[in-house]
Structure 1
């Protein structure tokens, strides 16, 4: 197997899942990685494991470097199964290893795998002496699970960042400077938008803690390892964590007989006429996780649907439910759509926008049946007015 070293004492021993296309509802067209790292010091330490189907590959990679039975410590930064379900296989080969994790992590591992390993619960400030290097532990609860923590290797100055700074991308090149930066930032943005977005305040707190540490390498649990573009990805996390937005409007809609689609396109033209960037997504054909990625930095969100059974279409409803869970910040929004004998979609969308934390700073627009020329002009003006409000806001 190909051996990849992060430093003289740290090896990459994880696995690349080239074929996974759905990560609990988040589409992954470029696949996924399950990153695990092996530290060879006076003591041998494994940072996280892999998803269970790849445990054999993990152990084979470790065996190329050292007998797995010589592992002294296994650090479980996060108990979600994509990181931890390889743990039982590892512990079978390394039965004397001590498992270090948070208190929430200990409870979760026992519940997941019904095993009571030799646990050592760690808290902020705790240090594990490996010999030449030490591991410092920084719990980051709810980033993005209650058990989550980050580990920092002194001497080598490597941050094992768990889910922070990750991307879902499969590549044979393990480092950021071996890949195209725009592609990595794109995938990091999609990752943040769909997984970490609800936890922006915790992200900012974690970044503030990490700024106190000298960091040469960031080794996340998914995607490539950052060693050249660390300032770029940290700056992005600062922006995303603070909810900073730009002058962009994302219009997401679905349409039954074409009327709402005609409205959407006219609204988009109105937005574009002001110089503000507009993006258009039809939800019956768009990838929801890509739409959410585009919304992350957008200051404006417009949601459209015709009325179906006194409410919005299921595709629109699915996006709104998803947004409510992600709790985006710093955005303004409005609703639009056509209806037949009775309305209802606009009100339902507006209620969901408000409950998602998106500010309604403009009344929505709805029309009956098929838009005429005057109504299309109103849609254009609606988009133009919304863009001006966004421009004044930012």
Structure 2
């Protein structure tokens, strides 16, 4: 298992980890593999490394396969330690190698491994790299499953190197899916559900990018290389990432002082309806408690906002909230929002009320633990208002609420 050919001048040089593996607060009872690929072209190129625990072993093995001083490029698709963990040990030996990655990944790699003195080649979406006999094309795939992630495609071989995408967590010595001792479809689906499902919109964007290339083989970072019927596994991602919330309902209720919180409510409405969700928006100033209660009971998402005045909510929205949290809100989700001038206490008070109910409260802690993404901050606190990144943040919050279902 030191070196297995997957295409002309292209080899698997990874590591099989057949122990129960701790991973993302889980134990991988079937183990896993850390797949690294060596392209022995005129400009020898390595695509990803292995877990940090096997860094020394990996570099020693690789040095028996190739003179590391001749290694020209090391492509890092994703900076987590199970992919980039062996990079420091490798770069200590591969003195002439250039690290190929995204701008965000460079920042993170330097922070993690202190590689500031190494040469980087920063690539962006659609960029290509001639490695002497083969051409690599890169696609940025943010939040699949972290912000800096990209995937690599070999044009001549029609092989996709998608890092965590299309992976399975199975320790195996067969390497190729057509040699697997049992059907891997269920393991493939479980991996998607655990790792990729929270990032569904980004999966959809990735699939659109893949329509521009022809794929004969998928060589992911974990588990089997999919050389038989790669289209099947792309279709499974397409199927699993389809989502319809057209049968779901959302309710936004708010109280506003100068109109800014009302504008935020409209932006959240835009995000929810863009996701296909039937959404109602109510200003409590012109809606009865009975009406709001009835609509809250029939809604799947409940979002409540208020401006802040003298450290508190405004108007009589608190009376509405007290009635809503008396309802059975199990199976529903929601969050607090509002515009503020200098403090924004009203937003936190609403959030405290929601926590007293049995609704699933969407906040930054929940989102980070579920997806690792920190691009949406909840409760949604917007200083004054502007038709700029503040409006976009509110639209994104609506999208996030739809995804949370």
Same fold (TM over 0.5): yes
| Match status 1:93 vs 2:112 | no
Mapped partners of 2:13, 2:49: distance in 1: 9
Corresponding residue of 1:361: none
> Are the counterparts in 2 of residues 140 and 150 from structure 1 also a CA contact under 8 Å?
yes
Given the superposition, is the C-alpha separation of residues 348 and 180 from structure 1 closer, same or farther in structure 2, using an over 3 Å criterion? Answer: farther
Mapped partners of 1:181, 1:353: distance in 2: 41
> Are the counterparts in 2 of residues 176 and 229 from structure 1 also a CA contact under 8 Å?
no
Mapped partners of 1:123, 1:219: distance in 2: 21
SS of residue in 2 equivalent to 1:228: coil
> Are the counterparts in 2 of residues 15 and 57 from structure 1 also a CA contact under 8 Å?
no
Corresponding residue of 1:154: 155
Mapped partners of 1:241, 1:197: distance in 2: 7
Corresponding residue of 1:125: 126
> Are the counterparts in 1 of residues 59 and 86 from structure 2 also a CA contact under 8 Å?
no
Per the TM alignment, residue 26 of structure 1 is displaced from its structure 2 partner at its CA by 2.5
Mapped partners of 1:108, 1:20: distance in 2: 28
| Match status 1:61 vs 2:47 | no
Mapped partners of 2:182, 2:17: distance in 1: 21
TM-score, structure 1 normalization = 0.62
Per the TM alignment, residue 348 of structure 1 is displaced from its structure 2 partner at its CA by 5.4
Q: Please list the CA deviations of residues 236-285 of structure 1 after superposition, one character each: whole Å capped at 9, or x if unmatched.
A: 1001111379xxxxxxxxxxxxxxxxxxxxxxxxxxxxxxxxxxxxxxxx
Q: Please list the CA deviations of residues 34-93 of structure 1 after superposition, one character each: whole Å capped at 9, or x if unmatched.
A: 111000111000001111221233224323431122110000100011111100011011
| Match status 1:176 vs 2:177 | yes
Mapped partners of 2:169, 2:198: distance in 1: 18
Mapped partners of 1:35, 1:244: distance in 2: 34
Q: Please list the CA deviations of residues 278-323 of structure 1 after superposition, one character each: whole Å capped at 9, or x if unmatched.
A: xxxxxxxxxxxxxxxxxxxxxxxxxxxxxxxxxxxxxxx9xx9xx9
Corresponding residue of 2:266: none
Per the TM alignment, residue 2 of structure 1 is displaced from its structure 2 partner at its CA by 4.2
Displaced runs of 4 or more, over 3 A: 353-357
Per the TM alignment, residue 21 of structure 1 is displaced from its structure 2 partner at its CA by 3.1
Mapped partners of 1:242, 1:60: distance in 2: 44
Corresponding residue of 1:215: 215
SS of residue in 1 equivalent to 2:151: strand
> Are the counterparts in 1 of residues 2 and 13 from structure 2 also a CA contact under 8 Å?
no
Mapped partners of 1:118, 1:208: distance in 2: 32
SS of residue in 1 equivalent to 2:111: helix
> Are the counterparts in 2 of residues 126 and 136 from structure 1 also a CA contact under 8 Å?
yes
Given the superposition, is the C-alpha separation of residues 202 and 71 from structure 1 closer, same or farther in structure 2, using an over 3 Å criterion? Answer: same
SS of residue in 1 equivalent to 2:45: strand
Corresponding residue of 2:49: 49
Gaps of 5+ in 2: 246-329, 335-355, 368-405
Corresponding residue of 2:295: none
Mapped partners of 2:243, 2:9: distance in 1: 38
Mapped partners of 1:103, 1:134: distance in 2: 21
Q: Please list the CA deviations of residues 303-350 of structure 1 after superposition, one character each: whole Å capped at 9, or x if unmatched.
A: xxxxxxxxxxxxxx9xx9xx99xxxxxxxxxxxxxxxxxxxxxx955x
Q: Indicate the larger mover: 197-206 or 50-59.
A: 50-59
Per the TM alignment, residue 352 of structure 1 is displaced from its structure 2 partner at its CA by 2.1
SS of residue in 2 equivalent to 1:220: coil
Corresponding residue of 2:271: none
Q: Please list the CA deviations of residues 367-387 of structure 1 after superposition, one character each: whole Å capped at 9, or x if unmatched.
A: xxxxxxxxxxxxxxxxxxxxx
> Are the counterparts in 1 of residues 99 and 121 from structure 2 also a CA contact under 8 Å?
yes
Mapped partners of 1:50, 1:15: distance in 2: 7
> Are the counterparts in 1 of residues 129 and 137 from structure 2 also a CA contact under 8 Å?
yes
Corresponding residue of 1:195: 195
Corresponding residue of 1:257: none
> Are the counterparts in 1 of residues 2 and 14 from structure 2 also a CA contact under 8 Å?
no
